[in-house]
Amino acid sequence: MSTVNPAGNAGHHTGTDAAAHRPRRLSTETKAAFKTTEFFAYIAAVVAVLIASMVVGDDDGHADYFRADKAWLYIVILTVGYMISRGLAKSGSRDPYDESR
């Protein structure tokens, strides 16, 4: 069932899908996170912190200078920094949208 709006154009009945009438998306906000160099730098830094925490131990009667709780604190700090950098990257850039993604 179609109706005529006051402008004289044929309208759609209430059962149509609203998503089919949205404008086509031409760009995304940014490229995917795993395609950025900051993602790989973040992963490398996390791995380096974990390895350093494992390697630095309590040998030769010295105290453990880089305990697990400190390593996880540094990983949390790295994660917050990464999330802030992604937020800043998303705030003003555009990446062409391709429906094949």
What does the pLDDT read at residue 27? 60
- What is the model's pTM? 0.57
Angle between helices 68-92 and 37-55 in degrees, nearest 10: 170
What does the block give as tokens for 80?
A: 């917050």
Low-confidence ranges of the chain (pLDDT < 70): 1-20, 22-31, 92-101
What does the pLDDT read at residue 15? 57
